[in-house]
Amino acid sequence: MPDECSAFVPGHITGFFSTHPDDDPTRAGSRGAGLTLTDGVTTTVSPARESSIELDGSRVEIDPVERVLDALSVTARVEAVSSVPIGAGFGVSGAMALGTAYAANQVFDCRLSANELVTVAHGAEVQAGTGLGDVVAQARGGIPIRLEPGGPAHGRLDEIPTRVRVEYHSFGELSTESVLAGDTDRLDEAGRLALSRVVKEPTLTSFMFASRRFAREAGLLTDDVKRAVEAVATAGGQAAMAMLGNTVFALGTGLTDAGYDPSICATHPAGAMIE
């Protein structure tokens, strides 16, 4: 067994979603669509007498990661480095949960399959209330469409078959837990309509239109993001809000053309992987 192992998990921007609770966390989750990114989170796992978690060099408590370690019955030092903003709609907690599962499987010779590891990480994130669909999307990569909620045994995915440059700019954090814990009826209806549009026309143009409309109809659009989306549109580009974060993302050179100084990456061609 190796002394340590690292796994890379792409960041994930959700354009729209609807929630689907279930007493079984492997069946619970969300429908929706998003982009996985070449920017993401690298998580390194090594054996330890007591478990600890670090993110970008700081000691942290991240419930989904702790749940993954408990589910695998291991104690480990988990060290993560993120190239995407924290708490801003990039699926960092899901990336750390999935990266921990992949790396721990190698270090501790757990002998679990990819689907089993995704199920563990997805269930951990759902139970923690920090996300509903990031893990399954991050495991797949590309531009995934989540047609049915849940982990690999129950969920169903499709994909918009293309790759594109992505620009993003974060104005700060939004609490995923507070949104998911509130009344989601308005959000869920907007998410169902958005998914219907993209399933009917699985293109980037349709995805961006559906994402912008979802943010407005769900009542989640912030003033900062609204101004940025309008500026990108004026410059001839397409932009939308990352769910759930005070973050704008655009395709191509949209944010640059609108006068912003964005971070630049691309959609990730594959999902989570051992490094």
Mean pLDDT split into 10-residue runs, the chain, 275 residues = 92 96 94 98 98 97 97 98 94 97 97 98 94 96 97 96 97 70 83 98 98 94 95 97 94 97 97 95
Structure-block tokens of residue 27: 């069946």
∠ Cα 188 192 194 (to 5°):
115
Q: Is the model's pTM score more than 0.75?
A: yes
**CATH numbers and ranges of domains, the chain:** 1-275 (3.30.230.10)
Dihedral Cα 174, 86, 39, 109, nearest 10 deg: -120
Catalogue the E-assigned strands of the chain: 5-20, 29-47, 52-55, 58-59, 76-82, 144-148, 156-159, 165-170, 239-241, 247-251, 263-266, 273-274
pLDDT at 215: 95
**Per-residue pLDDT at 178:** 63
- Yes or no: say if 262 and 235 are a contact pair by the CB < 8 Å rule: no
CB 119 within 8 A of CB 152: yes
